[in-house]
Amino acid sequence: MTAIADTIQGQINADDVVLYMKGTPVFPQCGFSATVVQVLTLTGVKFQSYNVLEDGELREGIKTFSNWPTIPQLYVKGEFVGGCDIIREMYQAGELQQLFADKGVAATAAA
């Protein structure tokens, strides 16, 4: 594994829910990233985020790692779940909440 892939593997192992995004949850710098933050906030799960705009190596590395060309990207328990469209669709269908429940990711506060 390359160094960046190693770093990413470490990040997705360290937290149950990991979001690679543009900007931060408080200040998203892309509408797609903002949407995923909003959805995660609605589900009430705690998530770790990484701002790819601050790290060019991570920005390119995560695309290769996931074989996915765009950001945001969401990982749950080390598994790639999808980008903005998939996350939104899953939330609307109730599948995202189910996935968190199935994987044992606790919602800290239902929003």
Partner 1 sequence: MAMTATEIEKLIKEGLPDSEVTIDDLAGDGEHYRALVVSPAFAGKTRVQQHQLVYDALGGRMGDALHALALTTKAP
Report the residue number, 98 or 106, with the smaller CB distance to partner 1: 98
Looking at 81, 97, 99, 103, which residue binds partner 1 (CB under 8 A)? 81
DSSP-derived 3-state class of residue 11: helix
DSSP-derived 3-state class of residue 78: coil
Looking at 54, 57, 89, 102, which residue binds partner 1 (CB under 8 A)? 89
Size of the site for partner 1 (CB under 8 A): 16
Does residue 55 contact residue 1 with C-beta atoms inside 8 Å?
no
Tokens of 80: 């790639």
Looking at 15, 83, 100, 105, which residue binds partner 1 (CB under 8 A)? 83
Nearest to 82 by CA among 95, 92, 71: 71
Tokens of 105: 């990711």
Check binding of 57 to partner 1 (CB under 8 A): no
* Contact footprint for partner 1 (CB under 8 A): 32, 63, 67-71, 80-86, 89-90
